[in-house]
């Protein structure tokens, strides 16, 4: 799940009814907006947001996130025409539709880069070379964000397995906007510092003219990845075959302990025995030793 906020969206804006009240602004004259804020914002509004994002995405917002939530959801109020959080949240609670996805997109945080936590890709390279060359690897990146992590996995796999290596990567995220960016595979050259020059030459096209300063992943990388939307806290993940390798990095930190356990159990069910699970540098799952055994720095083996 992890947010460059410069991406464009490939889908249409949701059809959310615009609201106006007796004063033409969706609120009574007595509900004046404070001078220092565009919209009314109360602890009750924040509590409602906490409950809704937990129910829909399993994300536990701590009480110190008031400013972040106000800033991000204010954009949704401007887009939909609502003049108070109370009315916007009431509309969400009584309807299903595309705006729920926009709500989730606004509150998910996507911080990522190419070859982030580099030791994982060294371990991945070695692990891919440790098995017989005839094996077909099934890999899942469960927090694809804007694509840097899944493309880093693909580059590592191609270098480790060679031209005859067989693997496939499924890359998912709950955020539809970052998946659109990931599938395009276009990035600023200045954000490619984690990519070695030889990898940049082999796996990316450099933009020219109006596209100078940009790079685009080559078709061979894009062809090795299927991008799809998956909510980790929901049952019924759309996978047909178990995975040999799963990357689930810096996602669990947004979940409380019961939600973490539920997600780990689902991952366990969708992995082959002995499969490798890569997690974030601040994540520790020693309480789930019945599911996974620690095999290295933030690397676990499926029991």
Q: Which residues are catalytic?
A: 72, 173
Convert the chain into a string of H (helix), E (strand) and C (coil).
Answer: CCCCCCCCCCCCCCCCCCCCCCCCCCCCCCCCCCCCCCCCCCHHHHHHHHHHHHHHHCCCCCHHHHHHHHHHHHHHHHHHCCCCHHHHHHHHHCCCCHHHHHHHHHHCCCCCCCCCCCHHHHHHHHHHHCCCCCCEEEEEECCCCCCHHHHHHHHHHHHHHCCCCEEEEEEEECCHHHHHHHHHCEEEHHHCCCCCHHHHHHHEEECCHHHCCEEEECHHHHHCEEEEECCCCCCCCCCCCCEEEEEECCCHHHCCHHHHHHHHHHHHHCEEEEEEEEECCCCCCHHHCCCEEEEECCEEEEC
Tokens found for residue 198: 């030889």
Number of C-beta neighbours around residue 70 at 10 A: 18
């Amino acid at each position: 799940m992890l947010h460059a906020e410069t991406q464009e969206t490939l889908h249409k804006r949701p059809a959310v009814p615009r609201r106006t009240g007796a004063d033409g602004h969706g609120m009574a004259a007595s509900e004046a907006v404070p001078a220092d804020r565009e919209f009314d914002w109360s602890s009750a509004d924040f509590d409602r947001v906490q409950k809704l994002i937990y129910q829909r995405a399993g994300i536990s917002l701590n009480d110190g996130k008031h400013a972040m939530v106000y800033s991000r959801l204010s954009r949704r109020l401007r887009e939909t025409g609502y003049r108070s959080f109370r009315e916007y949240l009431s509309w969400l609670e009584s309807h299903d539709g595309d705006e729920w996805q926009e709500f989730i997109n606004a509150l998910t945080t996507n911080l990522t880069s190419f070859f982030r936590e580099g030791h994982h890709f060294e371990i991945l390279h070695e692990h891919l070379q440790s098995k017989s060359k005839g094996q077909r690897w099934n890999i899942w990146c469960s927090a694809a964000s804007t694509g840097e992590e899944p493309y880093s996995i693909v580059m590592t796999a191609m270098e480790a397995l060679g031209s005859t290596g067989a693997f496939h990567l499924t890359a998912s995220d709950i955020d539809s906007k970052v998946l659109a960016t990931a599938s395009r595979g276009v990035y600023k050259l200045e954000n490619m510092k984690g990519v070695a020059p030889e990898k940049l030459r082999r796996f990316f096209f450099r933009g020219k003219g109006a596209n100078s300063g940009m790079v685009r992943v080559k078709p061979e990388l894009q062809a090795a990845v299927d991008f799809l939307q998956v909510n980790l806290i929901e049952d019924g993940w759309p996978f047909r075959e178990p995975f040999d390798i799963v990357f689930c990095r810096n996602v669990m930190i947004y979940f409380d302990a019961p939600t973490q356990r539920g997600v780990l159990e689902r991952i366990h069910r969708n992995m082959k025995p002995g499969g490798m699970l890569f997690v974030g540098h601040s994540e520790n799952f020693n309480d789930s030793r019945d599911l996974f055994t620690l095999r290295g720095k933030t690397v676990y083996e499926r029991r």
